Amino acid sequence: MKRVSTVACAASSIAAALLLMAAASPWDRLPSVTISGPDGDSRIRAAQDAVAFWNRTLAGIGSGFRFGPIRCVDSVVPDDYLKSLSNRILRWGAYPRFPDYINAIPGDVLLVLSAGDFVSFSIGSEDAGKVLVAVKSDQYYPLDLSNVARNVIAHELGHAIGLDHNSDPATLMCGRPAECRPDLYHEDAERFFPVTREEKDLLLRMYPASWRPRHP
């Protein structure tokens, strides 16, 4: 797994979260997802739903690829580190070497539900073979709006499996440099914004029906 750019958790009760990361290289294994967040955080269910959304989408296009098993752990990554990393990516587009404590956390995709206020992001590093997805607190705008957090999480997971941004604000993967902002996900009802036909075609090229994991 190159730099970037899963089901057994207990159910849980923008300035911008704009998606900073370029697309990941294709996975050669079923990437497990570790959700890090406080017990009772409503974003845990949103994250589970987002993984299920992508697995349904992949099944619907005939791909052999899926996210693997999900596990939940207590909050383990400091908010100050995530904010600092977010700012660093915004300024320099840097790909960091993760601290040892992040590399030691089980799971291929570490999805951190932060209590901090920063630009949400998805990033990985070649040395770790791990993708870090960090999502800002839903106590801050615009994640405090209904339907936004679940789509921000799903958007970031889209980066984690290889998708980049598009410029269509009616779709899930819209983002920089287009004038797309996460508050556009705001709706009273819960739903995921759609994936484009072109993105589905790309996913099927990366992960065809014959795709099989090379590693456990």
Least confident segment among 101-110, 122-131, 196-205: 122-131
Question: Looking at the DSSP assignment, which residues form a beta bridge with residue 73?
Answer: 36
CA distance 192 to 155: 9
Mean pLDDT of the chain: 87
**CB atoms inside a 10 Å sphere around CB 89:** 19
Pick the CATH number of 33-206 from 3.30.470.10, 3.40.50.300, 3.40.390.10, 3.30.1330.10: 3.40.390.10
Per-domain boundaries in the chain? 33-206
Q: Which amino acid is at 50?
A: A
Q: CA 134: distance to chain centroid?
A: 8
Give the mean pLDDT of 44-68: 98
More confident residue, 93 or 166: 166
pLDDT for the residue numbered 4: 40
Q: Which of 1-5, 6-10, 143-147 has the highest mean pLDDT?
A: 143-147
Q: Which of 49-53, 94-98, 180-184 has the highest mean pLDDT?
A: 49-53
More confident residue, 112 or 127: 112
